[in-house]
């Protein structure tokens, strides 16, 4: 499967995908890594791996929709079949992304539908939650609102602050995203009738990341 990745930051989730591919766990070809920041570490990771890169400056466009249209046009030109948002910190125009619905996933650092948007770790702590986690979902026009495919869960510890919680969650994210992408790459997970299907059956609840990988929730 030909995959493009969008990232705004250092690219730790991209690194996890590249490592999974190197271990033979991901039958994918990364055809593009694109960013809205020319200094993004994800671009340097891609360059080192021999993956084509693209950096577009939002301020060079008259509005958000113009930026998104150019970004998605160039992504389509790369030949990508699937688009992975791995720390891409921009809200995308719903009309522009519509042709990609069912072919675009995002990893979000909360147990959706809790805490859409930013500052998820802080909000979980302020709410007194006992559990936190990450979700991978199909992207739709609704911010962090598309169907959730899978989640990784972990207990919040007494000594956790925002930074420590975020750091502890990363190791779970780095297992979760490759596991979901593997399901898509092997065609076990598909978008049918505006909803996710796993092995030909409707996915009615998010899969849960366990020691042995992704499992159905009990």
Q: What residues are labeled active site?
A: 108
Q: At what angle do helices 12-22 and 162-185 cross, to 10 degrees?
A: 40
Partners of 104 in the β-ladder: 83
Q: How far is CA 90 from CA 58, 68, 71, 183, in A?
A: 10, 10, 12, 26
Q: Where are the beta strands (DSSP E) in the chain?
A: 2-6, 29-35, 53-55, 82-85, 104-108, 131-138, 148-155, 189-192, 195-198, 201-202, 207-210, 213-215
Residue with tokens 């978008």: 191
Residue with tokens 């986690």: 133
Residues 83, 93: contact at Cβ < 8 Å? no
Residues 177, 84: contact at Cβ < 8 Å? yes
């Amino acid at each position: 499967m030909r995959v493009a990745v969008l990232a705004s930051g250092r690219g730790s989730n991209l690194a996890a995908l590249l490592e999974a591919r190197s271990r033979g766990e991901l039958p994918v070809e990364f055809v593009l890594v694109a960013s809205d920041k020319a200094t993004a570490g994800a671009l340097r990771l891609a360059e080192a791996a021999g993956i084509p890169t693209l950096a577009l400056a939002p301020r060079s466009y008259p509005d958000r929709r113009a930026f998104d249209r150019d970004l998605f046009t160039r992504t389509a030109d790369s030949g990508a079949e699937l688009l992975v948002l791995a720390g891409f910190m921009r809200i995308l125009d719903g009309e522009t992304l519509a042709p990609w619905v069912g072919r675009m996933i995002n990893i979000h650092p909360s147990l959706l539908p809790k805490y859409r948007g930013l500052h998820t770790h802080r909000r979980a702590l302020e709410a007194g939650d006992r559990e936190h986690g990450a979700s991978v979902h199909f992207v739709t026009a609704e911010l962090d609102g598309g169907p959730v495919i899978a989640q990784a869960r972990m207990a919040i510890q007494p000594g956790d602050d925002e930074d420590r919680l975020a750091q502890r969650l990363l190791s779970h994210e780095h297992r979760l995203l490759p596991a979901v992408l593997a399901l898509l790459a092997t065609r076990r997970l598909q978008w049918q009738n505006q909803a996710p299907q796993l092995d030909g059956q409707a996915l009615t609840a998010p899969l849960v990341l366990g020691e042995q990988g992704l499992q159905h929730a009990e």
